[in-house]
Amino acid sequence: LILACPYSLLRCHQQRLVTCLTISYVQDEDLFLLATFKKSHSSRKNCITISRQRVLEQCGQNLRFCFRRLRILGLQFSNVPLCSQSVNFFCDMLASCRALEPKTLRVCDCYLAGLNGSDMLRLMKLCGSHLIVLSFMNLTGVSSSLLCDDLLAMANHSGLYVLMIQSIDFHFSVPLCDQYLRIGDATLARLPNTMRKVKLEKCGLITAEGVCEFVERYFGSEPSTSSAHRSTELIFKQCDQLTTASFEREAQRRRIPIEGQETDGEYIMKWVKRRQYHIRKANERRLLSIEIDSYRPIRSGLASPAIVDELSRNSMHSIAMLGRLYPEHIVSLHCDNAICQTSDQSCSEPEKYVETKKLFLTDQASVRMANIVRPTSHMLSTDLITEICPHGFVRLRKFIAS
């Protein structure tokens, strides 16, 4: 940032700095790291750090005078724990830019448990006017209403050509039946015919009808003059209402020609979960590739992952299944409004209770499989303690109960 080299602020008084802004996180020091680089000097970065705790306390550094001189053409949140306070802080800084024209908006490898839909809407309103690449990847702690049709509608779709939503892991408090994004056919209907790649995962409102309508609109338009040969790729993974069988039936009904298949009489293999289709219009070189993968891993118990490997990969939010390590003497769970408590009969005193954050159980009979977690300190167990850093990442270590 300009704070890192104040001389450039004077030297470029009449010139806005064309830059890309990356916001990341320094875990050991609990700091936000803001890095910018000019388009013509992509190898040289200017950086500044901001205390995350001060941002949460709403007394972070005022960087408006820095942002006022920037022309931001790209924005990326990478490996950051985002909450309402931090997103609003960055939105306040971005709003002071005289030329906020990001062509790309990427949110990747982020923990979003403390973020709500209104905060994301504000960010999209600021950055959605000039987007050509919109990407949400490797997000954890996501609520089912965070990414929705209304959010994507805030982006200007006329110039958009890449839309990516993949590797989404929901917060453990989200029941299994609600673990899907509220994104559906309305988003597909807004996408321009010039899209190059669309990858959508766990979007529960997308149907075969919406996909086929996009196909008909795609081939009903005039070919792009920018390239004589162009292809478009659509990928749908774990979208509950979209399967290979439903798409093939709808394509047959609409007489959509799929390479290698007859429009009439083709036997539909209903048990096939993943399949790729190629659609090409006669006398045109345009190719539309559609991949549908409706396979969804079976999860047991609570709404969080039940596999240790997946737990270690997403340890910051998938803490509810570590309860299998609990000893048998933890026998009761008491809920009172937003407080959960557990009693430990092995303690020397009659009973010991530990207050914890609110925990939603999908099956009250699985109480022994539930973890009782104090988000600011540790998880109760006589043979295991989980230390949770302020940003939400989890560390495990053994200890001997006193």
Distance CA 192, CA 133 (A): 13
Q: What is the pLDDT of residue 44?
A: 58
Distance CA 273, CA 293 (A): 6
Q: What is the pLDDT of residue 299?
A: 53
| Segment 21-50, tens digit of pLDDT | 899 998 888 899 888 876 555 555 678 888
Distance CA 105, CA 352 (A): 49
Question: In sequence order, what DSSP letters do the residues of 240-259 get, joined into one string?
Answer: TT--HHHHHHHHHHTT---T
Beta strands 197-201; 181-184: pairing state: unpaired
| Beta-carbon contacts of residue 197 (< 8 Å; ≥ 6 apart) | 161, 162, 163, 164, 232, 233, 235
Does residue 282 register a pLDDT over 80?
no
Distance CA 86, CA 201 (A): 26
Find the helix packing angle between 244-253 and 208-220, rounded to 10°.
50
Question: In sequence order, what DSSP letters do the residues of 147-165 get, joined into one string?
Answer: SBHHHHHTS-TTS--EEEE
| 3-class secondary structure per residue, 1-32 | CHHHCHHHHHHCCCCCEEEEEEEEEECCCCEE
pLDDT confidence bin for 208, thresholds 50/70/90: very high
**DSSP 8-state code for residue 356:** B
Does residue 260 register a pLDDT over 80?
no
Does residue 123 register a pLDDT over 80?
yes
Distance CA 120, CA 87 (A): 8
| Beta-carbon contacts of residue 8 (< 8 Å; ≥ 6 apart) | 2, 17
**DSSP 8-state code for residue 261:** S
* Residues 60 and 51 sit within 8 Å (Cβ to Cβ): yes
197-206 exposure pattern, b = at least 16 Cβ within 10 A, e = fewer: ebbbbbbbbb
Beta strands 197-201; 31-38: pairing state: unpaired
Does residue 203 register a pLDDT over 70?
yes
* Residues 402 and 366 sit within 8 Å (Cβ to Cβ): no
Does residue 90 register a pLDDT over 60?
yes
**DSSP 8-state code for residue 324:** G
Distance CA 49, CA 60 (A): 11
How crowded is the C-beta side of 318, counted as CA atoms within 13 Å? 20
Higher-confidence position of 295 and 191: 191
Helix (H, G, I), strand (E, B) or coil at 67: helix
Helix (H, G, I), strand (E, B) or coil at 137: strand
Mean pLDDT, residues 117-123? 91
* Residues 389 and 370 sit within 8 Å (Cβ to Cβ): no
Does residue 295 register a pLDDT over 90?
no
